[in-house]
Amino acid sequence: AQTVTQSQPEMSVQEAETVTLSCTYDTSENNYYLFWYKQPPSRQMILVIRQEAYKQQNATENRFSVNFQKAAKSFSLKISDSQLGDTAMYFCAFSQNSGGSNYKLTFGKGTLLTVNP
Amino acid sequence: GAGVSQSPSNKVTEKGKDVELRCDPISGHTALYWYRQRLGQGLEFLIYFQGNSAPDKSGLPSDRFSAERTGESVSTLTIQRTQQEDSAVYLCASSLYYGYTFGSGTRLTVV
């Protein structure tokens, strides 16, 4: 079974600074997908960034980038130029094709990020 | 619709009562997922629908939990004889492939 571990329950950063959230996972599969989701108080899960395991290049989306280390099974999220609106819970998630088109997600417990003015 | 819609947004029920939670996925999304999020925790997978069938029900925690989907559209998650440990946010997501769109969830409180 796959597991996802986020070892930082809470983090804080000053506005405009950079912060890195950690995530490790465990799987015996070779092909899979990794995600970072943001959950603001509205509860809706918002996709921040996605990485396919077969791609060696780290994914980037504007101020968000990942450091994907496949051998180490590590998938950290870097947020540059932090903004007040980045304050939220961040979840790391793992998915593989579980049969047919079943891409169910396994989530970590989350990191509460607070951006301070 | 433009997004995944869930209703009700909040539900308070007495222990032992049955509840139904509704999910309206994005039109055309064939895959639909239900997840449970307990306070301070990540999401736990409950059930996956492909069309109207549910090939993966492995996350349903007990036989008090059931779900159905009609017409490749609306899905209903039913919890019978609710218990206090069922208190959580129940999130629904729909997908064409591995890209999900989540709803805002139903917060269920069992008193």
Residues of chain B found within 8 Å of residue A101, distances taken between Cβ atoms = 30-31, 50, 97
Residues of chain A found within 8 Å of residue B45, distances taken between Cβ atoms = 104-106
Q: What is the pLDDT of residue B2?
A: 76
The model's confidence at residue B91, banded by pLDDT at 50, 70 and 90, is very high
- Distance CA(A13)–CA(A20), nearest Å, equals 10
For A27-85, the pLDDT digits (tens) are 988 889 999 999 998 888 999 999 999 888 999 999 999 999 999 999 999 999 999 99
DSSP per-residue string spanning A35-51: EEEEE-TT---EEEEEE
Tokens of residue B93, six digits: 């997501």
The number of beta carbons lying within 10 Å of the beta carbon of residue A34 is 25
Q: Given an 8 Å threshold on Cβ–Cβ distance, is A110 in contact with B42?
A: yes
Q: Given an 8 Å threshold on Cβ–Cβ distance, is A43 in contact with B35?
A: no
A95 near B CB under 8 A? yes
Element (H, E) at B50: strand B43-50
Question: Best interface-test mutation with A: which of B29, B43, B47, B104 has the largest number of A CBs within 10 A?
Answer: B43
Q: How many pairs of residues across A and B have Cβ atoms under 8 Å apart?
A: 67
Q: Given an 8 Å threshold on Cβ–Cβ distance, is A100 in contact with B55?
A: yes
